[in-house]
Amino acid sequence: MSREITISVFKFDPRDKASKPEFVDYKMQEDPGMSLFIALNKIRETLDDDLSFDFVCRAGICGSCAMIVNGKPTLACKTLTSQFKDGHIKLMPMPSFELIKDLSVNTGKWMDGMSKRVESWIHSSKEMDYTKLEDKVEPDVAQEVFELDRCIECGICVAGCGTKAVNENFVGAVGLNRVARFQIDPNDERTDADFYELVGDDDGIFGCMSLMGCEDNCPKDLPLQNRIAYMRNKLIQVGKQK
Amino acid sequence: MKINYCDTLVVGGGLAGLRAAIVARQRGLNVKVISLVPVKRSHSAAAQGGMQASLGNSNKAEGDNEDVHFIDTVKGSDWGCDQRVARMFAQTAPKAIRQLAHWGVPWSRVKEGDKTAVIDTKKVTITETKEAHGLINSRDFGGTKKWRTCYTADGTGHSMLYGVANKALGEDVDIEDRKELISLIVENGICYGGVVRDLISGELSAYVAKGTLIATGGYGRLYRVTTNAVICDGSAHATVMEAGGTLGNMEAVQFHPTPIVPSGILLTEGCRGDGGVLRDADGYRFMPDYEPEKKDLASRDVVSRRMLEHIAKGKGVDSPYGKHLWLDISILGREHVEKNLRDIQDIAMSFNGIDPADENGKGWMPVRPAQHYSMGGIRTKETGELTTLKGAYSCGESACWDLHGFNRLGGNSVGEAIVSGMIVGEYLADYCENSDINISTASIESHIKKQKDYLQSILDRPKGESAHELKKEMQDVMDAKVGVFRNGPHLEEAVRELEDILKRSNNISVEGSKSLTSANPGLDSAYRVHKMIKVALTVAKGALDRTESRGAHTREDFPKRDDEKWLKRTITSWANENDTLPTVSYEDLDVNTMEIPPSYRGYGKKGLIIDHPDTWERKEVVSRIKEQLIADGSDRYAIQDALMPYELPSNYKERNRRLGDSGDE
């Protein structure tokens, strides 16, 4: 037996002067196996074609669809409506990011800024000759780098972060994880002192209050607190020598 | 009106577009990339299994080289590909993968010593040498002679995309996301960029460039049941046709054997490559009965057809979403699943509540073939330039370059994206360095105005057709009548119905916001769906007219591959704005210049080929040249060059060194 569910969605267009923030309730019959991807598209197709939200892969891989579902930041595509026993689901856009419209926020712009700030690319002075055998990398090291490379920049760690809520400039667990990723990458020649220049302050590694909102909500189960602690330890050593 | 100028405009921020943009940037050009979504969210990220490159590092890859990769690719394509392009690709792929390693892609590496693998459901021990320890590893994939697919667990596309996108940031490539190309600016047969809509502010502006690259991915969303991301809607293909470009082999659509039911989310071929198997309602492993040699790892078109055949025999598993089969990876053991197929486990658990590592049938995942890849696309020359539009280029899945012919091998999609980005990027940069922008401001403004008027006319329309309803109808037609098995009567109906839907789409209206100056998802759908229907027509019409079966294109009424009549590429175009059907023409494939003349692929049904009259003669010529050169002591490079010479830009043609090569080879 299918039940009726109510999806209450935050609607607001900051570019439209007449628009006022409000919650709009949409009621629909729940389908078996229904995810929020299916439900929100059903709303757009049958009830409100002006509702803005972001999905791309709808498989938990691309990180586009993070939003606040009944108070928690999560990937909407992987959220099944059946997990809400009372049939009421409240959706809000993630805080800490620029609101585009309704549930759509500009994570792309923020993540670009973060990537540039931590210089999220390999720094290497080595001339590469790709006709020759590649440099060897210890299999376990490659695996460790991959573990941290799995971040999908969905923004959930930023939306769930208490530090970010009080410090606008905090680089977020995503930024600190990125630094940790390059710190262990054998292709990257940067030293801990170089990373200290990028994130060795209260907006970076020393700002984290260890409230765990990042790791608790990370959809990829990244070991964020562990990596932040690791980097903090490394950069304290640099700081002591200053 | 706002006009932005640059040297090179790249439309699409996936692997192909970004890689080409990096080439242009490194050559000193002023490059702009526009993308529908933040570039790291592009559909390239969803490629799970890996990228083929003939490094030959691991035990099961020993003896691999460009020649073997080339042959596998041509066979995979069912002789539909451009063999020179396949050579260009196979030669560049090892360089691409090594360069990506240098850019930080954490490829899985070979570990010295014994390891256990599952081959043919049996545990076997593979021993890796000390010399190979730390080099890039590879896994088995369908339709390949060697274990050639390099990977980062099952997150290969993600790692590659992040590696390339981060490199682009480091090179200071100018990337603007949430921007959509809605028309190309063409004057005197030359393309000078396009009109672009800002998906946040709604603003229309011109991006004027010397050279323009379209790298917008495939057209999978013409189907409802697809593994593709929602942005892979093919609307840019229509935009290209509207500007005078042509599309190639649009009927060549790949159906992947193992998307999970019912969501259609992909479960990588790596599941079977690593030793997983397909099972039926009785738990029976049926693929060896159909394909004794390649079994579960025949090419994707073959496995998909065999699965549907098996379901038709009554061996499918019943479910509320129709019949399906099972994919069993539990035989690989929990440790392997949780390390190398973790995203697969995550998908199965999140969407189906199944833990695929669970034993005794509990972990079997429901699978059924669904649309997966677009072999067809924007027709280009070997340089990536459109055959009919100067200054416009295309690469990656959006293009019909034509690497894949009528079936793409697993591991060749992200491979093509990167490699074609490297190659086409160089040719595009050459063009941009040697050309000027010769178009007046007034003309550019008239292009913007035309689009603005068009969008306004949609918004002004009183109650008309619903874009969502028309899209649904189109997808129903494509799923039901232009799917894995096709036939004349169904395709005729499909074309007729799609033509009707296209006519109705001229009357699409928008229910909600009438704003042209803010985000407007209703308007997005309205103009995209109209374009999608045009593209759907090129697929259906191409399929109807092609009265043979080749690769993924399977005609029940024409079961043979007919080289005599159909060794040619379908070309579709949109001759007049008000046409309701595409114009179809053909390009011949020349048997007499092929390095490998057409033959049986080594998998799939036998005895179903009608030979081209030139095939036997070409076979004789090829074997004569080979014998003579071998007798003369020529190496494989000289033989290749004698059979089918080809060019590559930059230093891509330099020989790829491998383990065991002497240093001065």
Domains contained in chain A, CATH given = 4-104 (3.10.20.30), 106-122+136-236 (1.10.1060.10)
Cα(B623)–Cα(B604) distance, integer angstroms: 25
Amino acid residing at B552? A
Query: How far is residue A1 CA from its own chain's centroid?
Result: 36
Give burial (CB, 10 Å; 0-12/13-18/19+) of A127.
exposed
pLDDT above 70 covers what percent of chain B? Answer: 99
Q: Is the minimum CB–CB distance between A47 and chain B shorter than 8 Å?
A: no
Cα(B226)–Cα(B49) distance, integer angstroms: 17
Are the C-beta atoms of residues A6 and A43 closer than 8 Å to each other?
no
- Give yes or no for residue B94 having a pLDDT over 70: yes
Question: Which residues 6+ apart lie within 8 Å of B361 measured at CB?
Answer: B283, B328
Reply yes or no: is the peptide bond before residue A93 cis, omega within 30 of 0. Answer: no
Query: How far is residue B449 CA from its own chain's centroid?
Result: 34
Which DSSP state fits A142?
A: H
Q: Give the phi and the psi of residue A155 in degrees, each rounded to 5.
A: 95, 0
Q: Which of residues 195-234 of A touch B (CB under 8 A)?
A: none
- How does pLDDT run across B214-256, given as a tens digit for each residue? 999 999 999 999 999 999 999 999 999 999 999 999 999 999 9
Tell me, what's the pLDDT at A179? 98
β-pair partners for B561: B609
Are the C-beta atoms of residues B398 and B215 closer than 8 Å to each other?
yes
Cα(A150)–Cα(A220) distance, integer angstroms: 7
CA–CA distances in Å: residue B532 to residues A42, B75, B245, B307: 20, 31, 16, 29
Quick check: A187 and B510 CB within 8 A? no
Please count the other Cβ atoms lying within 10 Å of the Cβ belonging to residue B659.
16
Nearest beta carbon to residue B265 from set A59, A100, A152: A59
- Give yes or no for residue B664 having a pLDDT over 60: no
Tell me, what's the pLDDT at A32? 84
Sorting pLDDT into bands at 50, 70 and 90, what band is B49? confident
Provide, as residue numbers in chain B, all residues whose Cβ is less than 8 Å from the Cβ of A57: 41, 43, 45-46, 229
Q: Is the minimum CB–CB distance between B95 and chain A shorter than 8 Å?
A: yes
Give burial (CB, 10 Å; 0-12/13-18/19+) of A146.
buried
Total number of residues shown for chain B: 665
Stronger pLDDT, B332 or B606, i.e. the higher one: B332
Tell me, what's the pLDDT at B557? 97
- Give yes or no for residue B411 having a pLDDT over 80: yes
- Give yes or no for residue B553 having a pLDDT over 80: yes
Question: Which residues 6+ apart lie within 8 Å of B180 measured at CB?
Answer: B34, B36, B196, B197, B199, B524
Nearest in space to B525 (alpha carbons), one of B469, B450, B579 = B469
- How does pLDDT run across A96-151, given as a tens digit for each residue? 999 999 999 999 999 999 999 999 999 999 989 999 999 999 999 999 999 999 99
Are the C-beta atoms of residues B438 and B184 closer than 8 Å to each other?
no
Tell me, what's the pLDDT at A107? 97
Terminal Cα-to-Cα distance of chain A (whole angstroms): 68
**Number of continuous H segments (helices) and E segments (strands) in chain B:** 18, 25
Provide, as residue numbers in chain B, all residues whose Cβ is less than 8 Å from the Cβ of A178: none
Tell me, what's the pLDDT at B113? 96
- How does pLDDT run across A198-211, given as a tens digit for each residue? 999 999 999 999 99
Domains and CATH numbers, chain B: 260-368 (3.90.700.10)
**Average pLDDT over chain B, rounded to whole?**
95
Cα(B655)–Cα(B641) distance, integer angstroms: 13
Q: Is the minimum CB–CB distance between B346 and chain A shorter than 8 Å?
A: yes
Provide, as residue numbers in chain A, all residues whose Cβ is less than 8 Å from the Cβ of B350: 60, 78, 80
Are the C-beta atoms of residues B535 and B218 closer than 8 Å to each other?
no
Q: Closest Cα of chain B to A58: distance in Å? A: 7
Sheet with A72-75, side-by-side order of all strands: A22-29, A4-11, A88-92, A66-69, A72-75
Quick check: A122 and B170 CB within 8 A? yes
β-pair partners for B115: B126
Concatenated DSSP letters of A23-34:
EEEEEEEPPTT-
Query: How far is residue B610 CA from its own chain's centroid?
Result: 28
Residue/partner pairs of A180-183 with CB below 8 Å, 24 or more apart: A180/A148, A180/A227, A180/A228, A180/A230, A180/A231, A181/A145, A181/A148, A181/A149, A181/A151, A182/A118, A182/A120, A182/A122, A182/A123, A182/B104, A183/A231, A183/A234
Sorting pLDDT into bands at 50, 70 and 90, what band is B142? confident
Which one of A43, A61, A98 makes the best mutation probe of the B interface by having the most chain B beta carbons within 10 Å? A61
Quick check: A139 and B133 CB within 8 A? yes
Nearest in space to B502 (alpha carbons), one of B578, B584, B583, B585 = B578
CA–CA distances in Å: residue A23 to residues A9, A50, B557: 5, 14, 55
Nearest beta carbon to residue B109 from set A51, A131, A139: A139
Nearest beta carbon to residue B521 from set A33, A49, A56: A49
Provide, as residue numbers in chain A, all residues whose Cβ is less than 8 Å from the Cβ of B107: 137, 142
CA–CA distances in Å: residue B264 to residues A16, B46, B223: 37, 13, 11
SS (H, E, C) B455-514: HHHHHHCCCCECHHHHHHHHHHHHHHHCCCEECHHHHHHHHHHHHHHHHHHCCECCCCCC
Nearest beta carbon to residue B95 from set A61, A130, A152: A130
Tell me, what's the pLDDT at B141? 87
Tell me, what's the pLDDT at A1? 62
- How does pLDDT run across B157-198, given as a tens digit for each residue? 999 999 999 999 999 999 999 999 999 999 999 999 999 999
Nearest in space to A52 (alpha carbons), one of A9, A127, A96, A104 = A104
Cα(A154)–Cα(A168) distance, integer angstroms: 18
Amino acid residing at B364? W
Please count the other Cβ atoms lying within 10 Å of the Cβ belonging to residue B366.
20
Nearest in space to B474 (alpha carbons), one of B219, B244, B249, B259 = B219
Which one of A12, A40, A56, A117 makes the best mutation probe of the B interface by having the most chain B beta carbons within 10 Å? A56
Q: Which of residues 574-633 of B touch A (CB under 8 A)?
A: none
Tell me, what's the pLDDT at B661? 84
Tell me, what's the pLDDT at B275? 94
Terminal Cα-to-Cα distance of chain B (whole angstroms): 59
Kind and range of the H or E run holding B530: helix B521-545
Q: Give the phi and the psi of residue B200 in degrees, each rounded to 5.
A: -95, -50
Question: Quick one: residue B417, left, alpha or beta (phi over 0 = left, psi -120 to 50 = alpha)?
Answer: alpha
Sorting pLDDT into bands at 50, 70 and 90, what band is B424? very high
Q: Is the minimum CB–CB distance between A135 and chain B shorter than 8 Å?
A: yes
- For the question of an ipTM over 0.90, the answer is yes
Quick check: A134 and B657 CB within 8 A? no
- The three-state secondary structure class of B177 is strand
Q: Is the minimum CB–CB distance between A85 and chain B shorter than 8 Å?
A: no
Which of the residues in chain A have pLDDT under 50? none
Query: How far is residue A168 CA from its own chain's centroid?
Result: 16
Are the C-beta atoms of residues B219 and B374 closer than 8 Å to each other?
yes
Cα(B57)–Cα(B656) distance, integer angstroms: 13
Nearest beta carbon to residue B106 from set A45, A130, A145: A145
Cα(B512)–Cα(A48) distance, integer angstroms: 7
- Give yes or no for residue B665 having a pLDDT over 50: no
Are the C-beta atoms of residues B550 and B80 closer than 8 Å to each other?
yes
Q: How many CA atoms lie within 13 A of A39 on its CB side?
A: 30
Q: Is the minimum CB–CB distance between B162 and chain A shorter than 8 Å?
A: yes
Cα(A134)–Cα(A128) distance, integer angstroms: 9
Which one of A9, A44, A49, A55 makes the best mutation probe of the B interface by having the most chain B beta carbons within 10 Å? A49
> Per-residue pLDDT averaged across B594-623, rounded?
94
Q: Is the minimum CB–CB distance between A74 and chain B shorter than 8 Å?
A: no
- pTM exceeding 0.90: yes
> Per-residue pLDDT averaged across B51-80, rounded?
96
Tell me, what's the pLDDT at B101? 98
